[in-house]
Amino acid sequence: MSALTSANPNPNYWGAEFADSGQLTNSTTSITSKFSGASYGKTVTGIIATSTDPAARVVTVQLYDGSTAHTINAVTVAITSGTDGATAVTDLLAGIPCPCDAKGNRNLFIPNGYSLQFSAPAVTTGKVIDIVILGQTY
């Protein structure tokens, strides 16, 4: 599995924002978030997917505890979601029961040592599903 790439230069203090991203392709059908095994927990405030695939694909979101992957959501990413100027990006956090802050923003808490995994059937050759995770350390 390939890891997602992290845009956070210093995730080791409370409130540090992070953004991870990765791609599902024809040859990479499963990816694990970069903050896997982090020494601090994370709160995820957004997970979006875009696609250049001419076919809709179901992306499975899993919480991985180091030995078992627990499916927490499965969302259909629409044909050319977020890439054709007409179809919106797909919200992979939608449908996951998680608390909201005072502003109504969802917060999915990822405990220390856990990670998020994403998988989908093979994407059409030469096409990709991009996944972006936004959040903070806690």
Asked whether residue 11 is domain-assigned, the answer is no
Asked whether residue 21 is domain-assigned, the answer is yes
Span of 61-75, 80-94, 99-113 with lowest mean pLDDT: 99-113
Work out how many domains the chain is built from and give that number: 1
Asked whether residue 8 is domain-assigned, the answer is no
Q: What's residue 74's pLDDT?
A: 95
How much is the pTM? 0.82
Asked whether residue 101 is domain-assigned, the answer is yes
Asked whether residue 7 is domain-assigned, the answer is no
Residue 8 has pLDDT above 90, yes or no: no
Tell me, letter by letter, the H, E, C secondary structure of the chain: CEECEECCCCCCCCCCEEEEEEEECCCCCEEECCCCCCCCCEEEEEEEEEECCCCCEEEEEEEECCCCEEEEEEEEECCCCCCCCCCCCEECCCCCCCCECCCCCECEEECCCCEEEEECCCCCCCCCEEEEEEEEEC
For residue 57, give the CATH number of its domain. 2.60.120.340
Residue 1 has pLDDT above 80, yes or no: no
Asked whether residue 9 is domain-assigned, the answer is no
Asked whether residue 22 is domain-assigned, the answer is yes
Asked whether residue 112 is domain-assigned, the answer is yes
